Amino acid sequence: MSRIGVFICHCGENISRTVDVERVAREVGLLPGVAFSTDYKYMCSDPGQNLLKKAIQEQKLSHVVVAACSPRMHERTFRKAVEAAGLNPFLCEMANIREHCSWVHENKEEATVKAVEIVGMMVERVKKNRVLPTITVPVTKRSLVIGGGIAGIQAALDIADAGHEVILVEREPSIGGHMAQLSETFPTLDCSQCIMTPKMVDVANHPKIRLYTYSEIELVEGYIGNFQVTIRKKARSVDEDKCTGCGVCMEKCPIRKIPNKFDCNLGMRPAIYVPFPQAVPNTPVIDRENCTKFKTGKCGLCQKVCGPGAVDYEQEDRLIVEPVGAIVVATGFDLYNITEKPKGSMIKGYGEFGHGKIPDVIDGMTFERLASASGPTGGKILRPSDGKEPKQIVFIQCIGSRAREKGISYCSKVCCMYTAKHTMLYHHKVHDGQAYVFFMDARTPGKAYDEFWRRSIEEEEAVYIRGMVSRLYQKGDKIVVMGSDIAVGVQVEIEADMVVLATAVQPQAGADALAQKLGISYDKYNFYSEAHAKLRPVECATAGIYLAGACQGPKDIPDTVSQASAAAAKVMTLFAKDKLEREPIVARVREAGCVGCFACKKVCAYGAVEEKEIRDRQGNLIKVVAYVNPGVCGGCGTCQATCPSKCVELDGYTDEQIVAMIEAL
């Protein structure tokens, strides 16, 4: 038999003004199972809590109901007090007779009757409450960071500086991402390489960071605090330990005319290469598709010239398993490529702008490479077709972005700003040139952003034309751009030497496949979804996985870095404890009854439900049942409402507890 203690709070006069608290205490005192009931002026005060603790001990109470304010206010307080008195905290419930009763009713008789009923319901509920042990999950204090752009670099450095080991996995041969490709950066026009390369070097030298470049995530198992990640380290064909980065191999490689992706195909590279001189690590990789040795078996020059003997044609992909406790996803973005439509893409093409057909129609990133001092032209703005300096240049914004009919309805966020930057860079480099910008709107929120944009018009003499381009075609060595100026209401036609398209920012190819491995959700464009758009912007719904940078949505560098540091802070919070404690409000499966229909698994948004085989002693399969991973379960109870036989139960909200309340009605 339960010995329930009921404590009715006056809340000063907040409750007692409209609820006859003594009467409530008297009436609920008569309910079966209630061993003790009393009222007190301020239950949450120290003396109030002491009264509660004393009563638990003296009256040998088995359960407690505190009738006071909202449990959202003080449930924690009273559960702690109950725990201090030696009872399991989950044997304490609150009855809300303030927000839901005394404050919303005026008639004392009605409010008192209601209060008695509310407390009565909670008394019936608490009888069915079970002892719930706090769930603890061990935490492996190492973190995985996927993607080595500025987001991944920042997150990795922050976590490593806090003293935790970081595994940084980058798909390309070097870290750096898009920021390494940029020339100068808005809103300050400092050189991107100058601020980026030191960070890259820090990563390479950090004792706590283990860097896997030219590597991809193969498999992710486990859950928060306890992930097992399998990494595929692709064969580089160069032994990273032996290579000194002297670069002789690259000089000697006879294949020299492979378009360099890092330079947006403007420059050429050999078959054994580093993507750019400041690459980290500075270890070359053999592009096996283009290497003569791999294609025909002949050549082998690089191996011969390599002093330390680092070149290894036999090298194979390696699979490495790393246990980690948290994962930061920072896989960044790619630019919408209008020349070819990726397979299965919902984006419709933009053939009308001649990108890919007209050589001097380029995208923003290509312009960055042209403007970059370390780029293929040494920082001179030259036309890809004939190497001449363009005297008239047209920038077109919102290519692909904000075009619902084309399949992308979002704003790419950085284009307004980088186009303004481009007009400035252009003006600084081609003094007698004229830049035109076609734009729909200028979106420049951000510190010093609007000032920056205005500067491009007011000081750098860019001509901004509000309107869209309808057509663009090659005429001789000019590109005719036809558009409308909707502000003035006239058609405009510009004979340009070069056209730069601000193409949409999109998630990286394969973002969806990675999300599926990680078990995180993504939107229809493949941007990863945060757990809550406002309040949990860096966490995934899947516990222990965090987001940083443009993989979550278009972002500039300041936003990317902020989010990366925020993600790192989340990881550090997780690592601050040896064991992860969580509220034991999780679902549990009654295996005896479970028939393995997995309706629960289908509705679980957290991916907490797994399939578990039940075998007899001989190892014969008896049945497959559901298993809820308590580390992953969010505690919503959707599974229970869905399970036809109610074989999965949410602790703290069991059918018994709820039915007891309904029956108390």
Partner 1 sequence: MTKSIDTSIYAAVSEAIRAEAQRILSDGTVTAIVGYAAARRKGSAQPIVISSADDAAKLIFTPACVNNLAVYLTKAKKEIPKKGKVGIVVKGCDLKALSGLMGESQLKREDLYLIGVPCAGVLASTVQPATELTSDSIAPKCTECDAQLPGGCDFVPPQAPLTPGQTRKYAAEIARLEALTPAERWAYWKEQFSKCIKCYACRQVCPFCFCEQCLCDRNKPQMVDTTPRPAGNTAWHIVRAMHLAGRCAGCAECERVCPMDIPLNLLNRKMAKELKELYDYEAGFEVNDKGPLNSYTEKDDQSFIK
Partner 2 sequence: MHPEKQKHTFEPKIIAFVCTWCTYAGADLAGTSRMQYPPNVRVLKFPCTGRIDPVFILKAFQQGADGVLVSGCHPGDCHYIAGNFHARRRFAVFRKLLEFVGVDLNRLQFSWVSAAEGGKWVEVVTDLTEKVRAMGPMTEFRELALEEQWSGAINTPELEEAYNQI
Ligand X SMILES: Cc1cc2nc3c(=O)[nH]c(=O)nc-3n(C[C@H](O)[C@H](O)[C@H](O)COP(=O)(O)OP(=O)(O)OC[C@H]3O[C@@H](n4cnc5c(N)ncnc54)[C@H](O)[C@@H]3O)c2cc1C
One of 505, 608, 631, 651 touching ligand SF4 (CB under 6 A): 608
Closest approach, Cβ 505 to partner 2, in A, equals: 24
Question: Token pair for residue 637?
Answer: 């109870």
What does 593 bind: partner 2, partner 1, ligand X, none (CB cut-off 5 to 8 Å by kind)?
partner 1
Between CA 553 and CA 239 the distance in angstroms is: 36
Q: Which residues partner with 580 through β-bridges?
A: 137
Task: Tell me which stretch binds ligand X (CB under 6 A): 179-187, 375-383, 392-400, 591-599.
Answer: 179-187
Closest approach, Cβ 519 to partner 2, in A, equals: 13
In the complex with partner 1, the residue whose CB is nearer, 583 or 611, is 611
Q: Is 645 in the site for partner 2 (CB under 8 A)?
A: no
Q: Is 335 in the site for ligand SF4 (CB under 6 A)?
A: no
Query: Residue 321 CA to chain centroid, in angstroms?
Result: 23
Where do contacts with partner 1 occur on this chain (CB under 8 A)? 128, 592-599, 602-603, 624, 642, 644-647, 655-656, 659-660
One of 70, 409, 573, 645 touching partner 2 (CB under 8 A): 70
Please report how the helices 557-575 and 150-161 are oriented relative to each other, as an axis angle in degrees rounded to 10. 30
Please report the sign of the dihedral spanned by the C-alpha atoms of residue 529, residue 506, residue 556, residue 261. positive
Residue 547: closest CA among 524, 525, 571, 523: 571
Q: What is the largest CA-CA distance in the chain?
A: 99
CB 69 within 8 A of CB 11: yes
Helix (H, G, I), strand (E, B) or coil at 103: coil
In the complex with ligand SF4, the residue whose CB is nearer, 134 or 470, is 134
Closest approach, Cβ 644 to partner 2, in A, equals: 10
Task: Tell me which stretch binds partner 2 (CB under 8 A): 22-30, 289-297, 345-353, 634-642.
Answer: 634-642
One of 5, 390, 549, 631 touching ligand X (CB under 6 A): 549
Q: Integer distance in angstroms from the first to the last C-alpha of the chain?
A: 22
Please report the sign of the dihedral spanned by the C-alpha atoms of residue 530, residue 536, residue 537, residue 539. negative
Q: Is 599 in the site for partner 2 (CB under 8 A)?
A: no
Task: Tell me which stretch binds ligand X (CB under 6 A): 180-188, 231-239, 273-281, 478-486.
Answer: 180-188
Question: Token pair for residue 488?
Answer: 């003035």
One of 74, 114, 178, 234 touching ligand X (CB under 6 A): 178
Residues 616-645 that bind ligand SF4 (CB under 6 A): 625-626, 628, 633-639, 643, 645
> Strand 226-233 and strand 318-324: pairing?
antiparallel
Please give the single-letter amino acid code of residue 253.
C
Q: How far is CA 515 from CA 151, 211, 528, 535, in A?
A: 17, 21, 8, 21
- Cis? peptide before 323, omega within 30° of 0: no
Token look-up 């204090």 returns 141
Site string for ligand SF4, 341-380 (x = CB under 6 A): ----------------------------------------
Q: Which residues partner with 506 through β-bridges?
A: 334
Residues that bind partner 2 (CB under 8 A): 70-73, 96, 98-101, 103-107, 110-111, 113-114, 117-118, 121, 521, 531, 541, 585, 603, 605-606, 634-638, 640-642, 650, 652-653, 655, 658-659, 661-663, 665
Residues that bind ligand X (CB under 6 A): 146-152, 169-172, 177-179, 182, 185-186, 216-217, 330-333, 335, 364-365, 368, 414, 418, 421, 508, 510, 514, 549-550, 555-558, 560
